Amino acid sequence: MRSLEWSRTGRWSAAAAGGALIGVLVIGCSGAGGASTTTATQSVGSTVTVTEGIRTATRSVTVTSTPAGGDAQPPPATEEPAPVAGSCPYLSDDEVADINGQRTGTTTVVAVEPQPICTFTRSDGGWLATVRIVQADTPEAAVAAVDQHVPVDQSNPADDPAGWTGGSMPTAQGSIYAVSKGTIAVIAEANQPQSIKGRQLAVAAIANLGL
């Protein structure tokens, strides 16, 4: 049997040891409303239950049985063609403008599989949002792709739309929302700090693609 440890990278790692597959993470943080606690409990399988205040969500994590391999890795980076001006096949400019509350300018696409990377700009030319669809070889690799963008120990749990799991967090440029289901991961970045913007972009892309 193996025990699970919480690593600095924010992923569950497997260490050779006896006993049940159980790990617990407790993070305390204080704010205007007093102390709050986030608890994550890992049990047999590949999900972690995360409780934040009164909200509880189940988050997939990566666990492998390879002794020296550690966690599953996200799909490797591949050479990408240059972005070109065009229309995003799974998100229209009007949808993005409605979601983000800002007028869109030029939209560019990068022709990769299974869907192009779409980057939207504001009417003044500034960056607005980027959405990427990742096709992984395994569900574990798709989860790893999500964890690469929103490490478990730094992000809030995300479970929208139904059946998809991942996380959301603020970034220096705004916010990011990333979720996976099966071998597909969707990563949505927006220029506003509210994670609801990235969530709405991801949900709309998933619905439009019928994923």
Three-state secondary structure call for residue 18: coil
Residue 25, pLDDT score = 30
Spatial separation of the C-alpha atoms in residues 42 and 15, rounded to whole Å? 14
Distances (CA, A) of 26 to 6, 31, 52, 67, 169: 11, 16, 10, 26, 18
Distances (CA, A) of 64 to 16, 45, 72, 95, 126: 12, 10, 6, 39, 41
Spatial separation of the C-alpha atoms in residues 62 and 102, rounded to whole Å? 37
DSSP H helices, the chain, are 93-100, 139-149, 195-209
- Every domain of the chain and the residues it spans: 2-60, 84-209
pLDDT tens track, the chain, 211 positions: 323 233 223 333 333 333 333 233 333 333 344 443 334 433 333 444 433 343 334 444 333 323 333 467 766 665 677 889 999 999 999 999 999 888 999 999 999 989 999 999 999 999 999 999 999 999 999 999 999 999 999 999 999 999 999 999 999 999 999 999 999 999 999 998 888 999 999 999 999 999 9
Tokens found for residue 46: 């590949």
Tokens found for residue 124: 């003044």
pTM comes to: 0.65
Burial 5-22 (b: 16+ CB within 10 A, else e): ebeeebbbbbeeeeeebe
Q: Nearest to residue 164, comparing CAs of 60, 71, 50?
A: 60
DSSP 181-200: ETTEEEEEEESSS-HHHHHH
84-209 to CATH, choices 1.20.120.420, 3.40.1000.10, 3.40.50.920, 3.40.50.12780? 3.40.1000.10
